[in-house]
Structures are given as structure tokens and as C-alpha cells.
Structure 1
């Protein structure tokens, strides 16, 4: 096999002089290298499905909108930094919405198999990385820091993978996944979305899962937020749920955040379920989450603010310690939620440990 050394075009799987023949054209993709002072958006606009836009270390003042399927937008680590523009640039809807990177399809035509990786996105008024109407989006090794609302957010999408990211000091959730951000609708099936191995620190909420089904939140490190994990449903059908929160480290989420239109003041919430069904909370370490909010405690099952009861949720085999007002708190009246195999000291009401 002949090894290709090209700065702008990268040969992919080209078999030359081996008797196997040349690779088909569909197997040869382009890597478009962006240097400081150049436009990431121009490289994205020029890319075709399967191409890679490789952004070298430096600071880039722009918002980037992606709609090409199979595209990889990749930096070279945390020193590849995307910030809001400091001057007037050609407008796109991503920038106009106050977002850093947007991967956006339509209801009829989802953008498939896009990857955003290995860069920092910071300082945007709304969201660092926003995706809508995508299928198989991967966001990995991204640092989303000090964005106004969400670090990384997704809606109306399926099979998303959020792995190995760092979301710090964002105004609301570090990672926010939802059926839709604005409308009141029943829960959507994500077809196996995964939120795993992320570090979520200093946000209002570490991870928010809102009105979704069929996904997992696992092996995340969630500390120093006002609340660790929120799984939220409402009165619409189908209910949020049929998902797993597993093997997370949820410790000392004791920052204090003021109330909002939707939620009371938050402090000391580890994992909170409200208005859900068939959620499995298992094998998590939940410690030192303490506060006086109605949602404070280690693992909290809370009858939703619109009066929806959580049913058939399972809390099992978790390790809980030094959470206040208790390690396990339930204000639910349904008798179908189960608590078994947990290591904990105190519960409200008593008898749940």
C-alpha cells in the first residue's frame, strides 16, 4: 500500500500497486485543513459527505452551521477554540441564535452521521454545540465552557452519542437532550442515545433529559453543579422514561441557583426524577449533595409540578452517603416505584433504604 502524504487532500483506503485495484471514488474523502485566520464555515460549505474539516489550534471567532451528512468537524484538542465573532460576518442562523456550532436537518430529512470532536466552544449567548433533526450525531472530546444556556444540546434527534466531553460553567445544563426545546409534546424515542464518560462541573444542572425515552446516561463525572441529573416528564403522552441512569459519580452538587419560570431554586440535588415512568437508576455513587430546595437530596422522586405521578421507576444498587435532607427522597404517592439493594443511611419517608 502506498502511503499518502498530502496537506489538503488525504487519501483514504487507496490501494495502489497491490494488485487489488484502486479504491472506488466513494472511498476517497477529503480533509480540509483550516488554519488560524481562515474560515471554518467556508471549509464546511465546501465539504462533501464523508469529508473531514480539520481545524488546527488557534482561536476562531465565528459560528459554524453544518448540514452535510457524514461530515466530521474536528479540532486538534482543547486549544482549538471557537468563540463568538468580534466583527460583522456573513450571517447564518446558528450565529443569529447565539450558538457556536449547529448541526441542523429538517423533519423530513435528518442530517445523518455527523461528528463534532476535539475542540473548545465557549462564550456563546445560548449554546456551545446545538443539534436538531439529526440521526447518529457524535459529539466527543468537546469542551463546552461558559455558554449562556447549554453547553451541548440536542432536540428532535435519534441515536445521538455524547462521549468524553467536558461541560463547565454553562448557564443551564452542561448536556441537555430533549424531544423539543420549545413545544409541549409527548416523549420521543431516541432509539438508543448515549450520554457517557462526560465531565460536568459548575453548571446549573449537569445533565438534563427532558421528555425522552430509550437512552442511557452512564459513567459520567458530575460534581459542583446546583443539581446533578434531571430526568423530566410532564402531562403529555407518552411519558418520559424507559431509560437508564447508571454508574455515574454524582457528588457535591451544592452550588446555589435561583428559581426560574419552570423550577424552584436549586441546591444539593443528586439525581431527580419528575413525571417519569420505568426509569432505572442503578449502580450510581451519590454523595454529599445537600440543600433545602424541594428537590434537594441524593436520589429524589418528585411528583411533577403539573401533578404527574412517577410510576414503575426502579432505584437499585446505588451507593449513597451524606446527602440532605436524605439519601433517598420520594414525594410520590404511587406505590409502583421500587427501591432495592441501595446502600444508604436515611430516607424520606423512612424505609426506602
Structure 2
């Protein structure tokens, strides 16, 4: 068996090494490949330095403690692992005002722009307001990155922001109190977002989209899985926007303004062709005010808007109560651009104590199916 080499960055102490051994034993951790190297980063050390030195198959291991500043992963097959919620990534502390310096001499007209360095990329992640960026491109998706067992908190925008990835795993993280999304993934495929806790983020606990900065038809997420997460006190627990071919399964979603939103529009291909299965969606009754695009949200359990061919099955949806157009247990509503839901199936769900209705079809689509749901009140009558 190949020997695993361990690099201790920033003068890690013998005590830190002992702590690392305890952590690895507790989480059953191993490098992504048997011959990968283990880069150990103690509190206050540079995560970015370790990631810049990492090669595919390496593990960058954070010890318990605080780490300041945004981080960007651009190497495929790398694992960034903490020691659980005790390994915390926070925004960099504000720098003291710089002393005025003499103007630099202008660059020669023939000097070519220098290529972006790893430091430049990390600075771009920070400037965007994100905590941890995992970034590939449309032409070369970043493959096989794992982020696990760490906390990301306090960033102006997204805690974990992934774009242009394939096979990304985000597991057992605690992503909380960020300004927009907790865990965000766009233009990506085959992701696994599992066993995370995402709480008190300004927008969604988990946000999945084709792209956030342009219009277009739904993309295939190629089997992306959102499973086993605890999502609380966000605006929305899980938002899926303009995507197809993914599953939202066995998540616990409570205390948000809305539980699960599947969002489509007039783009082609249409959003949908996905499953919402065996989630527990309880008392998502916070009030979130309206914005220029959406009415206020409160008491919304599972909402389909402008979606097609989506199966909502075997979920427990209870006690979601409000007076918003989205309020109720499982709700179908026409999208903000007037696109109706089509060919969706709502079946075998336990839907009770929601208001104004357990099942609410507020759309004009005529080919959505409701079957074998246990509920008390439907809108219109006859779906229970």
C-alpha cells in the first residue's frame, strides 16, 4: 500500500498532529486516492496556499479553529475537509487603511497582461462576496472535488458557491448566516449535496440553477442529488431554478419562509423532469417580504411554478400556514411570466394542517395529477 505523505503547513505543532489523528479517526476519513498527499492546515494557516499546492487526489485537512478569508478550488479531484463545525471559514478581517504611496510608473505599451494567479482567483471569490468557491468553466468543468466537515459563515453572498463543476460532493458542512445562498450550484452536473446543515441564510439553504446571471432554457443536472440535509430559518429551504434531471430526497426542512420551490419559466427546455421524494417539510411559517419579482412568502411547503413532469411523492408536509399566493402544503401556481405547470404528479403524500389548503392547484394547467394523498383540505375540492 502506498505511503501517505503529510505536509504540516504554517508550523503545525505536535499537539495539532494529535488532534488531526483524532479527527481522522472520528470521521473515518481517507484521501481521495491511496497515493494522494495530505496537506494539514492549522488554525490561522493559509487554506489557499495548501489548495494551490494540491494535486488531484490530495486532501487538504483543516484542524479545529478559525480560518479567515475566501477560498477558491480550481484543481480537480481535491478534497477540502475540516474537523466538523469547529473548523470555521469566516470573512477576512477588515484591513487597516493603506498609506498613500507614490504613483507607479505606467506600464510599457507593449507589456501583455499577466495571467490570473491563484491569488487573483481567490481575490475574485472574495470580491464577489462568497466564502468558498469551486470553479470550472463551461468548456472544462471542474471534476470530482469534495468539500466536507467544515463550517462557512458570515459572507456577504454565498457560503459555498460552485459553478462549472461535475461530480462535486458537499457533505456534512454547516453553512450559516450568509447573505444570500448557503450552498449554491449552477451550470453543474452530477453533484451530491448531502448531510449538510444550512441555516439562517438570506436566500436559500440550497440553491441549484442553470445560471444566475442570464436567461435560458433548463439544463440537465445529470442526476444531481440533494439528500439528507437539515435546512432551517432560510428564506427558502431548497430552490431549483431552470434545471432538469435531479432528485430532492429525505431532507428535513422547517422554519423557513418556504420549504421547496421548483421554478421554471418560458425557457425551453422547460424546468422539471425531477423528483421530490420523502422530504419532511414542516411549519415553514417565517414571513419574507415581497421583492420586485415575487410576492411575499410565508407558510409555503412544496411549490411548483412553471414546472413540468415533476414527481412529488411520499413527502410529509405539515403545518405550513400563511396568506401568500404560495401558502399551503403542496401548491401549484402559475409562474411570474405566466407559464403553467404541466404533467406533474402529486401522489402518496401526507399533507395535513396546512393553510389555507393542504393541496392547492392555483394554476390553469389541466394535466397535473393528484392521487392517494392523505389530506384534509384541497383547493379546489376533490384532490384529497
Structure 2 unmatched runs, 5+ = 10-32, 97-118
Quote the Cα distance in structure 1 between the aligned partners of 2:322 and 2:250. Answer: 24
Quick one: which of 122, 125, 130 aligns to 2:161?
130
- Partner deviation per Cα, 1:301-326 (whole Å, 9 max, x = no partner): 00111110111000000001110000
Quote the Cα distance in structure 1 between the aligned partners of 2:34 and 2:84. Answer: 26
Q: Partner residue of 2:247?
A: 216
Q: Partner residue of 1:263?
A: 294
Poorly superposed stretches of 4+, deviation over 4 Å: 1-9, 88-91
CA apart distance, 1:45? 0.6
2:4–2:34 contact (8 Å) kept in structure 1 = no
Q: Partner residue of 1:110?
A: 141
Quote the Cα distance in structure 2 between the aligned partners of 1:238 and 1:3. Answer: 49
Measured at CA, do residues 4 and 104 of structure 1 come closer, stay the same or move farther in structure 2, by a change above 3 Å? closer
Q: Partner residue of 2:258?
A: 227
Measured at CA, do residues 316 and 161 of structure 1 come closer, stay the same or move farther in structure 2, by a change above 3 Å? same
1:126–1:148 contact (8 Å) kept in structure 2 = yes
Q: Partner residue of 1:64?
A: 71
1:75-224 correspondence to structure 2 within 5 Å: 75-88=82-95, 92-224=123-255
CA apart distance, 1:87? 3.7
- Partner deviation per Cα, 1:116-157 (whole Å, 9 max, x = no partner): 000000000000000000000000001110000000000000
Quote the Cα distance in structure 2 between the aligned partners of 1:184 and 1:114. Answer: 27
1:8–1:30 contact (8 Å) kept in structure 2 = no
2:2–2:35 contact (8 Å) kept in structure 1 = no
In terms of fraction of residues, the more helix-rich structure is 2
Alignment RMSD (CA, Å): 1.7
2:64 is equivalent to residue 33 of structure 1: no
Q: Partner residue of 2:328?
A: 297
> Tell me, what secondary structure is at the counterpart of 2:308?
strand
Structure 1 unmatched runs, 5+ = 10-25
Q: Partner residue of 2:113?
A: none
1:45-56 correspondence to structure 2 within 5 Å: 45-56=52-63
> Tell me, what secondary structure is at the counterpart of 1:96?
helix
> Tell me, what secondary structure is at the counterpart of 2:374?
coil
Q: Partner residue of 1:16?
A: none
> Tell me, what secondary structure is at the counterpart of 1:44?
helix
Quote the Cα distance in structure 2 between the aligned partners of 1:65 and 1:312. Answer: 41
Quick one: which of 272, 275, 300 aligns to 1:241?
272
Quote the Cα distance in structure 1 between the aligned partners of 2:316 and 2:243. Answer: 24
> Tell me, what secondary structure is at the counterpart of 1:45?
helix
CA apart distance, 1:4? 6.2
> Tell me, what secondary structure is at the counterpart of 1:277?
coil
2:311 is equivalent to residue 280 of structure 1: yes
In terms of fraction of residues, the more strand-rich structure is 1
> Tell me, what secondary structure is at the counterpart of 1:334?
coil
